[in-house]
Chain A
């Protein structure tokens, strides 16, 4: 049975409605259970690690202010105490303690696929022909992440939402990197091995000189670009730095080839969400239609400030963090360009990006790539070393002049904003940027 299925939601809602005692108040209770099973590299102890957390938070939103009380562990008394902490009127009221049902993990922590993955990955690395010494120096930390969330509010109540996925952190002689995976099967091992082999091959390769170049981004790199340049840029709290977030609606932000959605319902199956971390139904949100802003990413608090902003994009790092507007699963709608079209003009092919950063004040976007390849005779050829792509968001997005036809879905990576780290997912084809600034 899923955790939180037997919470007495009606009783919780009754208590919260006493806290939300003004017309436009929003009060909710957030229940979460997290589990991480981790296998570290062979030379590190302890050998296998399990982390299991349960907790709750009670929140009141009133006129632009939020009061939040987070508690580790889930018990009726802790709930009652958290309610008293956020209640503005009658905080010493003896609020009733509703039944919260089963609130902790009881089954043994097992994830055989986590324990088996290093062998799969080693096999895949060998099959890729990676130098035996280098392959032996690759150290993996493999994790399975499970998260259960339920939100009961004075106005909305969701069922239990469940997420399950994997992450693999890699330490190599040439650096660290991490990926998110839907499963830990042979295909996942192959994805990891291919990425590592490309990185190994790029060692010692010269970085491209500073200058402007056509860049064809592979689906994984395109996902990072869109996450930074579109998703972050259209989060309402980021938009608010420059004024009213709703003013962005209708603004041309990039090439007409860009149709970008955030759709938590259509991501990889095990991370699909019907409700967000505030209990509001998730929506297929069109961020950009033909390059023009249609619907920024909003959470409940911001959606109360304007009819143009729709809730459903609220995410929490954990119970101790207030929710904020964040993307979950970005989709770039496929274009019509074939590989031959994309590579016809030459330039650089950049299959994966290590990280990106958007400066919300200046709009400057920086993407770092561990390697790339020069496009020669209509195909990726000579390998180049690490490089950086820089530009202003609107300029970069307006330089998209071709979008590929084949969409791939996968983990875009961990996204950190305001100190809160979350997994983000993406479905994207390749895309081409015309004459953008690159350099070592």
Chain B
């Protein structure tokens, strides 16, 4: 890992004369954004530079964040409130930085060409469909963290995002949008983006809305991601163990054997892969559910219960949305582990009668206590492995327990989507026991 700047160490030393716990975080970054809107086009190049300090002792503390280069001559705020405790440095396993960190940002013309290509492909896939607006961002950044507990870390990242809104040929059906993430903007494939938009638009425009139906369901990755995201409180944070208890049986099983759920801060090729988290703690792969058996929630160093002998293991999972924000516990690459032996086509062929749900049309609704859920979806009705018509304006409903127990198979097409400052991923899932309803 590259050494940290002396300026941060000077600031650390300066503050450590007064405070026992001190952390200095600094971030620099640059990004190019192209926003296409209604008759307006904005091309922007931003250079960001900011830093943040947390300092305190066991009785009081303060936080300070500012734009620009870290400085020593700052009028610090008066410390107040709670004491501060920071994590001690821990050994960081060997880390090979991704090779694409040095690639240049997408040029303005390249960005425009990408949108043009998506628009062309979309019109080919679904004649008359068009892009309404979109935003492409391609950026690189470097974060440095030092602390009075010997943390010294430098993390470099390369990330890109694409948000695009499109409308089908029938205007009355409205528009829909798609948000994708990649390590760099050149990885966005126009044909893939266009196909996904076209599938959704076609279904939304032609879809029927069955009053109520059962069957087997093939859930495309976007639907699996929406379910995982909506159930995040079952997987993340120290309170998750208590929340998940009613769903765990005597053998510790929470889901079918097909389900293995992990978060992996070092995921190879992952958009957010890094050796350490936002507090300089080492990242690693952590299984939350293994072959259907519940293991533990995603917790950071200060969230492992101290009472009794907890087998819960902490992992570097504190994420900072920016230099302005405090680190909070969250996943980097939370995902259902795919089965490399199972193709989507084989799952589709096995579906005698049911639905292939392509996407969520909104957020998951979950009852208090995680008993029942409802998710608005769009997709196709399937009979004998073939589509018999599209469905939209419908809800996938059922009990959370039935959903988790009813996952019969997972395919190999793991796909990640951005969720807050992290990523959530799922492959296509074959599920039984759920229901489609016109109303939640």
Instruction: Report A's interface with B, CB cutoff 8 A.
Output: 37, 39-40, 42-55, 64-73, 78, 85, 104-110, 115, 237, 240-241, 301-302, 305, 320, 322, 359, 361-362
Contacts and interface: CB of A to CB of B under 8 A. Distances in A.
A103 to B, nearest CB: 9
Contacts of B54: 45-46
B174 A51 contact: no
Interface of B: 35, 37-50, 54-56, 60-69, 75, 77-85, 132, 167, 174-175, 324, 326
A47 B81 contact: yes
Contacts of A241: 38, 132
Contacts of A322: 35, 42, 44
Contacts, number: 143
A72 B49 contact: yes
The 9 closest A-B pairs by CB, nearest first: A47-B81, A73-B68, A47-B80, A49-B63, A46-B63, A68-B44, A240-B38, A46-B61, A72-B67
Nearest to B165: A361
Contacts of A305: 39
A337 to B, nearest CB: 36
B75 A320 contact: no
B44 A69 contact: yes
Nearest to A81: B47
B82 A44 contact: yes
A241 B131 CA distance: 12
A240 B84 CA distance: 51
Given A46-B62, A107-B75, A108-B75, A51 B324 contact: yes
B68 A50 contact: no
Contacts of A107: 75
B159 to A, nearest CB: 16
9 contacts: A42-B81, A46-B82, A48-B81, A51-B64, A66-B42, A70-B47, A105-B75, A108-B75, A361-B174
Contacts of A67: 42-44
Given A73-B68, A115-B80, A46 B75 contact: no
Nearest to B171: A361
Contacts of B43: 65-68
A14 B333 CA distance: 50
B84 A45 contact: yes
Contacts of B47: 69-72, 78
A51 B65 contact: yes
A361 B65 CA distance: 39
B309 to A, nearest CB: 26
Provide the main secondary structure of the chain B interface.
strand
A53 B75 contact: no
A51 B68 CA distance: 12
Contacts of A69: 44-47
A50 B62 CA distance: 8
Nearest to A210: B439
A237 B38 contact: yes
Given A45-B84, A47-B60, A50-B65, A68 B77 contact: no
**B46, B60, B175 pick with most chain A CB within 10 angstroms:** B46
Contacts of B77: 37, 48-50, 108-110
A320 B82 contact: no
Nearest to B325: A51
A110 B78 CA distance: 8
Given A66-B41, A241-B38, 11 more contacts: A42-B82, A46-B56, A46-B62, A47-B79, A48-B79, A50-B64, A50-B77, A107-B75, A240-B39, A302-B40, A320-B44
B82 A66 contact: no
A129 B421 CA distance: 40
A46 B58 CA distance: 11
A43 B302 CA distance: 14
Given A37-B77, A54-B67, A108-B77, A320 B41 contact: no
A362 to B, nearest CB: 5
Given A68-B42, A69-B46, A50 B63 contact: yes
B61 A45 contact: yes
A85 B38 contact: no
A237 B69 CA distance: 36
B60 A320 contact: no
A240 B85 CA distance: 52
A107 B78 CA distance: 13
A116 to B, nearest CB: 12
Nearest to B44: A68
Contacts of A237: 37-38, 40
A251 B167 CA distance: 25
A171 to B, nearest CB: 14
A43 B132 contact: no
Contacts of B175: 361
Contacts of A104: 68
Contacts of A39: 80-81
Nearest to B41: A65
A96 B324 CA distance: 32
A53 to B, nearest CB: 4
A54 B174 CA distance: 40
Contact of A64 (B41, B68, B167): B41
Contacts of B84: 45-47
A64 B39 contact: yes
